[in-house]
Amino acid sequence: MEGWGSPTFLGLEESEDGPWDVLVLQVPLELSVSYGEGTENGPRACIEASSQVELFDEFLMSDLPGGYRIRTAEPWSSDAPYLREQLDSVREYLGGWFERGGFPLVLGGEHGILLPIVEAIESHELVSDISELTIVQIDAHADLRDELNGERFSHGTVIRRCLEAGVGGVIQIGVRAYSSEEKYLIESEDRIETWFGRDLLSVSGDSTVWGEMISSLSDISGPVWISFDVDGLDGSLVPSTGTPVPGGLSHWGAVEIIESVFSSDKCNVIGADVNEIVPDSEGTLTQFSAAMIATKIVACKIADLGGGKT
């Protein structure tokens, strides 16, 4: 990407030579957005904001990088004219990095990046078959439409496309904006487990539902990919994301979910993406919220590698 420069995640000094324990991969894809724009600028804004995030993490009980090696890779770019060709290019970019080992943290870009991530995972050394993979999706939207605005590879259809690709299961957390078509699929598809935002977070709701959701995360087995659409957070925390939705997760709720997944002894989190990052035109809250989530994921993975997990 012309004029990219070299900002690094958390502002850390990095070695040009591998191997690396964590790979920060930028995918500034923006072709199927349906409302607000700006996701193409999200990954870099997130990395720039991360330089202001405190390095100490209570789950890790150490300063990042905790003795491990992080690499902020040069961003993906493509001049392909069509969306499917762009997605193919993303898959090739990610596949090349996945083959090098290390924990991939993919920063987007619209949520449509998840499909080429899944396609690239098919060559991942920790996944012998894509049917073994569980996606933990934090999101305001179900993303289960068959098409959105005439496009089958949209950010609003990506979970459905991933299921069609053979993913073994999807656990959705915080969904609160969905169509009747998506509601039907949630109720009829055994591979989908959805924790609706209203049930989890409504003041008049059953307060035990949140605990049940957190407890269920400990039952996930096998390889896991975390897909964190920042609009899963309450809209007040990410006002510039493409479709901010009220009634979402607090920062601490998101932290508890991430820590709970990594705390499970039954599963192995092989990677994560933080997507739909759109930098604020005035202020920095959206990208800083995204940077905090990305940092928490990295801290939990480093703890999982042996850096002081509590």
Cβ neighbours of 151 (radius 10 Å):
17
Residue 281, pLDDT score:
79
Q: Which of 27, 123, 103, 52 is nearest to 271 (CA)?
A: 103
Task: Collapse the DSSP code of 183 into the 3-class scheme (helix H, G, I; strand E, B; otherwise coil) and give the result.
Answer: helix
- With cut-offs at 50, 70 and 90, classify the pLDDT of residue 36: very low
Token pair for 292: 């905090």
Query: Roughly how many angstroms between the first and final C-alpha of the chain, as a whole number?
Result: 40
Please give the single-letter amino acid code of residue 6: S
Q: What are the distances in angstroms from CA 139 to CA 134, 174, 298?
A: 15, 6, 19
- With cut-offs at 50, 70 and 90, classify the pLDDT of residue 41: very high
Residue 75, pLDDT score:
96
pLDDT surpassing 50 at residue 310: no
Residue 150, pLDDT score:
74
pLDDT surpassing 50 at residue 309: no
Mean pLDDT of 234-252: 95
pLDDT in tens, 105-128: 999 999 999 999 999 997 788 888
Give 35: exposed, middle or buried? Use CB within 10 Å, 0-12, 13-18, 19+: exposed
Residue 37, pLDDT score:
66
Mean pLDDT of 229-249: 96
Phi then psi for residue 67, to 5 deg, are: 85, 5
Mean pLDDT of 57-77: 96
Residue 205, pLDDT score:
65
Where exactly are the structural domains of the chain?
18-307
Residue 2, pLDDT score:
38
Residue 26, pLDDT score:
97
Rounded to whole angstroms, the Cα distance separating 31 from 86 reads 9
Residue 149, pLDDT score:
75
- With cut-offs at 50, 70 and 90, classify the pLDDT of residue 5: low
Residue 1, pLDDT score:
38
Residue 307, pLDDT score:
73
Average per-residue pLDDT for the chain = 92
Rounded to whole angstroms, the Cα distance separating 287 from 45 reads 6
Superfamily holding 18-307: Ureohydrolase domain (3.40.800.10)
pLDDT in tens, 207-231: 799 999 999 999 999 999 999 999 9
Residue percentage of the chain with pLDDT more than 90: 80
State the residue for tokens 């259809």: 157
Q: What are the distances in angstroms from CA 278 to CA 4, 36, 80, 234?
A: 17, 9, 22, 15
Residue percentage of the chain with pLDDT more than 70: 95
